[in-house]
Structure 1
Amino acid sequence: MDPSARAAFNANFTDEKYQQFLTDIKAGVDHPIHFRLAETPIFISDDFYAKLQQAGADVIGTILQPDFKELTERAIPDQWRVAKENGHAHMIALDFGVCKDDNGDLVPKLIELQGFPSLYGFQSYASEHYKKSFDIAEEWTGHLNGLDEVSYIELLKKTIIGPHQPDEVVLMDVNAPEQKTSVDFYITQQYLGIPVVSLEGLVQKGDQLYYPADGQLKPIKRIYNRLIFDEIAGDPDIFNKAVDIRKPLNVEWLPHPNWFYRISKFTMPFFKGDFVPKTQFLHQVNPIPADLESYVLKPLFSFAGQGVIIDVKPEDISAIKDPENWILQEKVNYEPAIQSPDGGVKAEIRLLYLWPDGDAEPTLAITLARLSRGKMIGVRYNKDFDWVGGTVALVRK
């Protein structure tokens, strides 16, 4: 983290500026923000950014292997396998904790990853508001790889809309307006002009999908998919009430739902390198480590931290009936490296990649960051704290 930028920010910080930031950022969208925004961005030093880039490149290199699909076939649950899978994930998110190595230097450590969208619209919007509200020097940017706000949105458009017209591409989620991250849906709509629809708003005729608009049915050529199957798994009648999107349909997916599983916790055991904690499928762990307190136990098929066992005991392992669907991962200790007015705060930085059709590999485009004082990163673990929540990570241009 950049100490000089941090010191300058903290010296000029006031709660009045923060409250004005919240007022301004909410004024630009006609939709509530359902998560807490932190009081500060993260200022990444050049050295740490170089490590992040290398860590990301190590992971992407594995994803680009010709046999990656073969390695990850088992990742897709049969009940959620969707037809007409494409050749790559259009969006990739890599989560890195800010940690310390044995030499006392700050390093990124891979926590999780997903071949699924994150807040690609909101993070660009938030980055510009943080910079403006807190008078952050022009040398800092939240857009990566030489992108600025305009060229970033163009890359987003190229990825999501591609060769189609905006009204032929829909952003789709189950009960879309009610999602915690729905503000991102409507900012994306502002940027790209695409409609936002719920799963039950899809209309099927033959193998063609439509959505209602202006008193008529408009054909859908591509779905910008924000639906996670975990959220509908508890409703066995869901596809009696809505289109069964798992079937072969005359529609393109972005990204295809199968990539949510292929690029996920399932993939962690295949990654190697200085920035990846040792990870094994539980059924392949032999012997069980004596120092279980140094590991976390994670179910493969869950999201948002659900089911994770942080303080692992031998009886936790013996109680698991499907060890092939769990990973045992070396515990990552977050360093409270972000200095707030009253002590250090832990941080996680998500690298967000965009991979439009026709590109040989994904482009690192923007970040999402989260600050935490709780035992785990995430809103549900940080209630009643300040200097925590969602934010952006800035780098020098």
Structure 2
Amino acid sequence: MSTRRTIIIGGGVVGAASAYYLAQSGRDVVLIDKAEFGAACSHANCGYVSPSHVLPLAQPGVLLPSLLSMLKRNSPFSIRFRFSPALWSWLTRFALRCRSGPMLKSAAGIHALLQSSRQLYSQIIADEQMDCEFEERGLLFVYKDRHEFDDFAHVNELVSREFQVFAAPYAGEALNELEPALKPGLAGGWLFGGDAHLRPDRLMTAWRQVLERMGVEIREHCEFRQFVKSGKSATAAETSTGTIDGEDFLIAAGAWTPFLQEQIGCKIPIQPGKGYSITMPRPEICPQYPMLLEQHRVGVTPWESGYRLGSTMEFAGYDNSVHEKRLSLLKQGAELYLKNPHVQPIVEKWYGWRPMTPDSTPFIDRSPRLGNVYVAAGHNMLGLSMSPGTGKLVAELMNNETPHLDAERYSLTRKI
């Protein structure tokens, strides 16, 4: 076991899971965050633990529908066009990957990390008695139109054949028998029974309790600025509250990681993909299953303690405003599918910046410049779903252990 002092930069779900496995291996861990632990993209997402999300966003045939979608006022997807070489480079890389070969190559890495994390969640939550409303009910993909429902059969056949991820179809009335909260007359749904869900803010509260019990030091309002270097190693992290000495370092800064690429030593093709959510009490007719209203890109998550609508995707840079139009789209989409789509009062309106990569695959690797600096970032919309597997892989790489996953798939220098 290693007792090396390890500094983690980023207090989201990936940083937390990495701290857990590093502390478990005997390391002295300090976790810093420029704001509050668990307050950014890990706070109010939809809480899906979803092995079903195995395919990357870059798929054959998505470009034209995405472009046409942006012409609609109520589109859940938007790009704020502006002069940004980084954005245009990202979009070009994304477009070039919208082919079958690159899609399946990315999916293999995504699948491995999702499957690892799904198993680890059940283990960690049970072992550490984490109170986060974890439920293994599955995830229901719901379709309004018959042709969309039927088309998903091809996706299901693909992921079943290639990755052994299966969904069961429920057409017409069978869907309403499965989920009475849905309106009658919908085409159908596909239930991925291997998925789960939890409440993200409660997960982060539980993570804090577990980490502090393990001796991890959490420093909030402590912004990383740069490394103190000696040769090809970092010896300390300079922060807004002082210098912190360390022997190994992990950057788990999510969508902010590109601001640190000079410190990392290579370009990081991450763009912030802004997502929204609204949280409220449970409606009178509350869904039993978490679901995705696929044609309108609305996520619906029920918990014992509340109810959330979330999703949309906005490439608008690091815009920190909450656009009411985006929140209205969530409500309007839910109204087409659910008997009680939303209620008052609204407990929280929220946005978060997802760290989007062109191939939907995160970076989990050692810096090419500094031999004791590591990166775990770029988990797209799946940071919560992928975090335990990421944390375990980070600890294995730092401790020079045989990794439980093929680490080359997450290389900082892979061709995208």
Is TM more than 0.5 here? Answer: no
TM-score in terms of structure 2 length: 0.28
TM-score in terms of structure 1 length: 0.29
